[in-house]
Structure 1
Amino acid sequence: MDVCNVKNALRVQQREARDSMDPLTRQKASAVACRHAIEAWEQLRIDRNGDKLTLFSYLSFGSEISTTPLIEHCWSQGDRVLAPRVDSVSRTMELREMDEYGNMVPGVWNIPEPALTCKEWLPEMWTGIDWVVVPGLAFDRHGGRIGYGGGYYDRFTAQVEAEKRNNGSVGPLYVSLLLPGQLLAQVPMEPGDLRVDVLFTPEGRFDCDHGKIDK
């Protein structure tokens, strides 16, 4: 079985497990994982001398872990919050700045996304993002990730890396929030697949030991 087939089988398995999770269990796990993320976010703020920070995060949908506690914390601190608008024809994402949930509309597949009235962040601005919160179905401690198969975040990361080479910047950090059962011993990866840097689980923070490999 090739890597693509292995990935697809794992996607089905992980999605079914996530969908069958008790909603209260999911809600509690989301809250604790987000709390660990918020602690790290606030440490970053201290390291940056109290500066306002910029978060790019997906807006949770269906049985995904909730990003809401992290997003609302950022708003409460006056940070910039960006979220993706998906173009299913070009298979790319636009990044738009949101300051309240009133900016949110149903998008492709009814996934919530920022309204067109929200300010767009062009690719040359993307290296100014501090954290990218990356969705996924399964992860490992080497930063390996199984996404939903669309490749949106892989292409986004390739663009960010190109911009970093152009302007010599260091950001952003790629992080993920995990529900119980999403951290596996190893997930299959292909060249060009995004590897994340940090995982936040209900058990705590895990820094991926190969977070910068093969982005």
Structure 2
Amino acid sequence: MHSESSLIAQRVLEAEFFKESRRVGVYIHCAPLREVDTTQLVSAVTKAEDKRCYIPVVQDRDSNMRLIHLDTLDDLKPAPPFNILEPPPTYADGRPREDVLEMDTPLDLLLMPGLAFDRRGRRCGRGGGYYDKFLARCQQRTQQLGWDPPLLVALAYRAQMVEAVPMCDYDRPVDIIVTADSMLSCSPRGRQVHPYG
């Protein structure tokens, strides 16, 4: 799994869509949930002078999630119930951290985890609906402000690619899936930014 995670991270870091993105949302992986390790990616985004990093933070049990700014890896602390690392709600000086849904600029790219994916970009999450709810709010905001929605890119181990994933009405397919072997463009938007997949 570690070698696959490293290859996936390398593919993302070399992709034009990543190089061109300025505001990047990326999850902090949870090893027990068998998610692709994002340590290398989070480190790269926080260290890049031309990028800002935003990390998912669970707000409550009603599937509400925020994406807040992370300026340094040192700010990450384990949060219950899975001890996934999260930034605290405020910066060191006490100011509230920048929130993606309150920014005056759009999120360019969102790197997402999942349980399983198919070649059409359909994603099976863990049943909590956190990403579905966040993406619905994000889409509503981008439409109101006339922005492009973030490019949705899923990171997947080979074993997570399946023949077909069932979809509900509220499920959002991703634009691109990155595995250790390839980069699959799954939507018109995905094919626009990565026509070779």
TM class, shorter-chain normalised? 0.7 to 0.9
Q: Which amino acid aligns with 2:72?
A: E
Runs of 4+ in 1 over 2 A off after TM superposition: 88-91, 124-127, 209-212
Q: Deviations over 1:89-122 (max 9, x none)?
A: 3421122111222111112312211112241315
Alignment correspondent of 2:56: 84
Residue 58 of structure 1 aligns to which amino acid in structure 2?
A: Y
Partner of 2:156: 178
Conservation of the 8 A alpha-carbon contact between 2:46 and 2:70 = no
Match for residue 44 of structure 1?
A: 17
Cα separation, 1, equivalents of 2:123 and 2:68: 24
Alignment partner, residue 151 of structure 1: 129
The match for 1:59 among 28, 42, 45 is: 28
Q: Aligned AA for 1:120?
A: E
Give the structure 2 partner of residue 131 of structure 1.
109
Q: 1:127 to 1:190 in 2, by over 3 A?
A: farther
Q: In structure 2, how many angstroms separate the alpha carbons of the residues matched to 1:96 and 1:72?
A: 16
1:144–1:156 Cα change, 3 Å: same
Q: Larger helix proportion, structure 1 or 2?
A: 1
> CA 1:127–1:180 in 2, change beyond 3 Å: closer, same or farther?
farther
Distance 1:147 1:100, change over 3 A: same
2:17 aligns to what SS in structure 1?
helix
Measure the CA separation in 1 of the matches of 2:100 and 2:42: 21
State how far apart, in whole Å, the 2-side matches of 1:210 and 1:154 are. Answer: 20
2:167 and 2:189 map into 1 onto residues whose CA distance is 13
Contact kept in structure 2, 1:88 and 1:108, CA below 8 Å: no
Segments of 5+ residues of structure 2 without an aligned counterpart are 92-96, 191-197
Q: Is the 8 A contact 2:23 2:108 kept in 1?
A: yes
Change in CA separation of 1:208 and 1:122 when aligned onto 2, cut-off 3 Å: closer
1:211 Cα shift?
6.8
Aligned length: 181
Query: 1:155-166 to 2 correspondence within 5 Å?
Result: 155-166=133-144
TM-superposed CA distance for 1:124, in Å, is 3.8
CA contact 2:43–2:73 (8 Å) conserved in 1: no
1:101 aligns with 2:73: yes
Residue 169 in 1 paired to residue 147 in 2?
yes
Secondary structure, in 3 states, of the residue corresponding to 1:143? coil
> Are the equivalent residues in 2 in contact too, given 1:58–1:133 (CA < 8 A)?
yes
> Does structure 2 retain, via aligned residues, the 8 Å contact 1:86–1:107?
no
Identity of aligned residues (%): 31
What SS is found at the alignment partner of 1:120? coil
CA distance in 1, matches of 2:125, 2:105: 22
1:113 corresponding residue in structure 2: 86
